Amino acid sequence: MAVQVSFDDLKVGDEIPVRSKVVKREAVKAYADASGDQNPIHQDESFAKMVGLPGIIAHGMFTMAHLSSTLTSWLGDPAALRAIDVQFRAVVEMDETIEAGGKIADLDPETRTAKLDVWVRLERAGVTEYPIKNSTAEVRLG
């Protein structure tokens, strides 16, 4: 797969294209099956409410996977994503729309590496929340 982004075209402050995804119960179930994380807060509505959640929530790693996919889609080559470091800050409920994006924070011409500030956000009751924030990624572009 060819890299779509050229290091020479990047500037500090450039934004990464935002990608949206509606979180569906079927996708969260498929993620639970694939990952082996069968925690009932991701599967059982009654259990999730019993432990104080609003209902079934998506895995944090499910949300991070959307962020990683957003980055690799922008890059065009999954190998260009060298590292990602995230903070999980809020739950994601079923049928919510999550948006992933970020911006260029630093460029190193010697190594052709870019550091990115990245996030996942959603709108809930008219308020923007960040299930992932204060997070970074590093990409290397040949």
What's the CATH code of the domain at 79? 3.10.129.10
pLDDT tens per residue, range 8-50: 999 999 999 999 999 999 999 999 999 999 999 999 999 999 9
Q: Is the dihedral of CA 76, 88, 129, 96 positive or negative?
A: positive
| 2 belongs to a structural domain | no
State the pLDDT at residue 127: 97
* Residue numbers of the domain that contains 20: 7-140
Beta bridge partners of 116: 104, 137
Band of pLDDT at residue 1, cut at 50, 70 and 90: low
State the pLDDT at residue 2: 56
State the pLDDT at residue 90: 96
Helix, strand or coil for residue 52?
Answer: coil
Which residues of the chain form beta strands (DSSP E)?
15-22, 81-88, 97-108, 113-124, 127-140
d(CA 95, CA 11) in angstroms, rounded, equals 35
| 32 belongs to a structural domain | yes
How many domains does one find in the chain? 1
> What does R_g of the chain's alpha carbons equal in angstroms?
16
| 76 belongs to a structural domain | yes
